[in-house]
Amino acid sequence: MTYRKTVRQGNALPRLGELELALLEALWSTPEQSAASLQRRAGRSSLSTIQSTLERLFRKALVHRRKQGHAYVYSAAMGRPELLGRLLGGVIRQLHTGSLDPILSSFVDFADRIDGDTLERLDELVQQRRQARLAGDEPC
C-alpha cells in the first residue's frame, strides 16, 4: 500500500505546502490580514503567489475571508492547536498502520510488536548486564 493511498483514505487534513503553513502562521499571530500585508510579511513571494496560495487555503476551508473595499481580508478558520492536532493525528494514524514505513526511520516500528513475557525477559537481561558492568567498574 503506498503512502499516497493512505493519505487519501486516512488523513482528513488536506496536504499543506510550506508557504501555506507560513501564511497560516502569519494569520495566527495577526488575524485579519489582506494579501498585500501578508506579502509584506512573507517578503520572498510575489503578491500573485500569495493570492493564489490564499485561494488554495480558502478552498481547503482553512481560512475565512471577507471583502473589505476592493480586497479580501483573511483570517484562519482554525487555531494552531486544532490544525496541529489534526495534522499529527493523521501522521500517528499512518505510523500505526505502517504506511509511513517506506519514508521514515522509526526508533521502534509500530508494527513491531513484542509480547509481555519477552519484554520482561529482555528487561531482566538488561538489568543483569547493567549490574555486571557496574560491578566490573568498581575499583578493587
Partner 1 sequence: MLTLAASMLLCFLLLWLLFGALSCAVYPLVRNTMRSIDPAQASVLLLGWIALPVGIAGLTCAVLYSPDVSALLVAGHCHLGSCRQHGPQSAGAILPAALLLVWTALRLCNGLRSQWLPARRLGRELAAVGRCRGDYLELDTPEAAAFTVGWWNPRVFITAGLRAACSPRELDCIVLHERGHRRRRDNVRLLVARLLGQPLPHCWSQLMLEDLKLCCEQASDQFAARAVAPEEVAAALLQVARLQGRGARPGVLAFTGSHIERRVRALLDAPASPLPGEWVFACVSAAVLFTLAIVNPLHRALEMIP
Q: Are strands 63-68 and 71-76 parallel, antiparallel or unpaired?
A: antiparallel
Q: Answer yes or no whether residue 110 interacts with partner 1 by CB under 8 A.
A: yes
Q: Answer yes or no whether residue 82 interacts with partner 1 by CB under 8 A.
A: no
Stretch that binds partner 1, among 11-19, 33-41, 45-53, 61-69 (CB under 8 A): 11-19
Q: Which residues of 112-140 are buried (b: 16+ CB within 10 A; e: fewer)?
A: eeeeeeeeeeeeeeeeeeeeeeeeeeeee
Q: Which of 12, 66, 113, 136 binds partner 1 (CB under 8 A)?
A: 113
End-to-end CA distance of the chain: give it in Å, rounded: 59
Q: Answer yes or no whether residue 79 interacts with partner 1 by CB under 8 A.
A: no
Fill in the DSSP letter of residue 101. Answer: G
Could you list the residues that contact partner 1 (CB under 8 A)? 2-4, 7, 15-18, 21-22, 25, 81, 83-85, 87-89, 91-92, 95-98, 100, 102-114, 118-119, 122-123, 125-126, 129-130, 133
